[in-house]
């Protein structure tokens, strides 16, 4: 099945040609190109929502590629003479998305936009690219940008990418990533620690998107890096101390002595909500047994999360991950990037299962409950 994240919009190529910014002033040309790319993205989303068959989604992808190629040709032509203008940054960012123009675009950024205050919005895409051009550029920015906030944003992006790569390595059994060699893993760990420690110095630097500061997010990412060794099967899981979605305070270790299922969920996560009926049945089946169910909620508003839990009769406690939703401190310290993610801990708090599906959960829980009873 074709994944939605690889598909984009539909827009007739001649629409771009008719609207092509050939006679406008350079700044206006760039603004129009930025708007055209935004329209391409938005139109695709409408097409994707309307698609009912695989053929329709394939057709949307074909049309998107055709239109984006027309747009890219026009954008590159304009950038040849107007790349130094501030308005060029958004066009360069758009060209970088899904293209092989990384080297040329990073050279334009290096030459004209190192001091641009919004440069940080390009970093996450650049550090995840298939080539090293983007990462090397972000490294340069982290060391040499004249804008302190941009230096911090660059360091955070680099540290996050390195930690993300290690986490993906750990998730290989879940179907993600390619295994790293021991040497590569150690190198990534050192790289992540270096840049996250660097980012923690920028206490006043805002995040590119969302609430919070670069330093606060770097601190949470660094905690996740240190927890990597303890979030594997056979290791004692790190404790969580925080507030529930109803405002009460509790700890994950409060359930020590019980087999504990930890579920990262949110009301915006359809697979998470589909698991709720099974979770309720499991909790009822385990009544009177040494069993606990604990959630970590990723909704932006605690009030909404509590309302959803009450409406769906989710009687078990759930930590609130904060207003950052999926990017909150608990998910970062537990390195969760897939929703839902499920951990099963035995009565001693040792991780016995990590996964994204509850398909085999009952058998795993029953086996662990049996071991508690036999002690």
- Parse the chain into domains and list their residue ranges: 1-113, 118-230, 234-373
Q: What is the DSSP string of 157-169?
A: HHHHHHHHHHHHH
How is residue 104 written in tokens? 């040329």
Other C-beta atoms lying within 10 Å of the C-beta of residue 11 = 22
Question: Which CATH code of 1.10.10.920, 1.20.1070.10, 3.40.190.10, 3.40.30.10 fits the domain covering 234-373?
Answer: 3.40.30.10
Please tell me what DSSP assigns to residue 230: G
Confidence of residue 151 (pLDDT cuts 50, 70, 90): very high
Q: What percent of the chain has pLDDT over 90?
A: 66
Pick the residue with more confidence: 10 or 74? Answer: 74
Which pLDDT does position 146 carry in this prediction? 95
Confidence of residue 174 (pLDDT cuts 50, 70, 90): very low
Please state whether the peptide bond connecting residue 340 to the residue before it is cis, i.e. omega within 30 degrees of 0. yes
Cα 123 to Cα 38: distance, rounded to the nearest angstrom: 19
Q: Which residues contact 367 (CB under 8 A, 6 or more apart)?
A: none
Which pLDDT does position 2 carry in this prediction? 33
- The phi and psi torsions of 192 (rounded to 5 degrees) equal -60, -45
Q: What is the DSSP string of 258-313?
A: SEEEEEEE-TT-HHHHHHHHHHHHHHHHTTTSSEEEEEEE--S-HHHHHHHHHHTT
How is residue 155 written in tokens? 């360091």
Which pLDDT does position 168 carry in this prediction? 64
Which pLDDT does position 12 carry in this prediction? 39
Alpha-carbon distances of 37 from 49, 95, 266, rounded to whole Å: 19, 9, 31
């Amino acid at each position: 099945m074709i994944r939605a994240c690889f598909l984009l919009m539909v827009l007739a190529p001649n629409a771009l040609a008719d609207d092509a910014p050939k006679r406008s002033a350079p700044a206006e040309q760039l603004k129009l190109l930025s708007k055209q790319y935004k329209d391409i993205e938005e139109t695709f989303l409408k097409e994707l929502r309307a698609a009912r068959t695989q053929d329709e989604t394939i057709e949307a992808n074909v049309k998107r590629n055709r239109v984006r190629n027309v747009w890219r040709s026009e954008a590159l032509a304009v950038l040849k003479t107007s790349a130094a203008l501030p308005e060029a940054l958004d066009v360069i960012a758009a060209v970088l998305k899904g293209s092989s123009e990384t080297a040329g675009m990073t050279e334009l950024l290096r030459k004209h936009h190192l001091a641009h205050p919004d440069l940080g919005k390009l970093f996450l895409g650049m550090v995840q690219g298939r080539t090293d051009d983007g990462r090397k550029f972000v490294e340069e920015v982290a060391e040499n940008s004249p804008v302190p906030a941009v230096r911090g944003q660059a360091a955070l992006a680099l540290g996050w990418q390195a930690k993300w790569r290690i986490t993906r390595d750990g998730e290989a059994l879940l179907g993600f990533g390619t295994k790293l060699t021991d040497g590569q893993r150690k190198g990534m760990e050192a790289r992540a620690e270096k840049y996250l420690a660097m980012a923690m110095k920028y206490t006043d630097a805002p995040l590119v998107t969302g609430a919070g500061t670069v330093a606060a997010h770097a601190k949470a990412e660094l905690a996740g890096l240190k927890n990597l060794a303890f979030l594997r099967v056979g290791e004692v899981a790190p404790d969580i101390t925080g507030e529930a979605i109803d405002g009460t305070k509790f700890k994950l270790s409060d359930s020590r002595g019980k087999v504990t299922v930890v579920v990262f969920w949110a009301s915006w996560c359809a697979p998470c909500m589909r698991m709720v009926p099974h979770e309720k049945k499991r909790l009822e089946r385990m009544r009177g047994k040494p069993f606990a169910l604990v959630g970590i909620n990723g909704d932006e508003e605690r009030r909404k999360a509590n309302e959803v839990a009450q409406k769906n009769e989710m009687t078990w406690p759930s930590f609130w991950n904060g207003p950052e939703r999926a990017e909150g401190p608990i998910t970062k310290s537990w390195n969760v990037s897939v929703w839902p993610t499920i951990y099963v801990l035995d009565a001693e708090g040792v991780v016995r299962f990590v996964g994204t599906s509850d398909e085999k959960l009952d058998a795993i829980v029953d086996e662990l409950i049996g071991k508690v009873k036999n002690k």
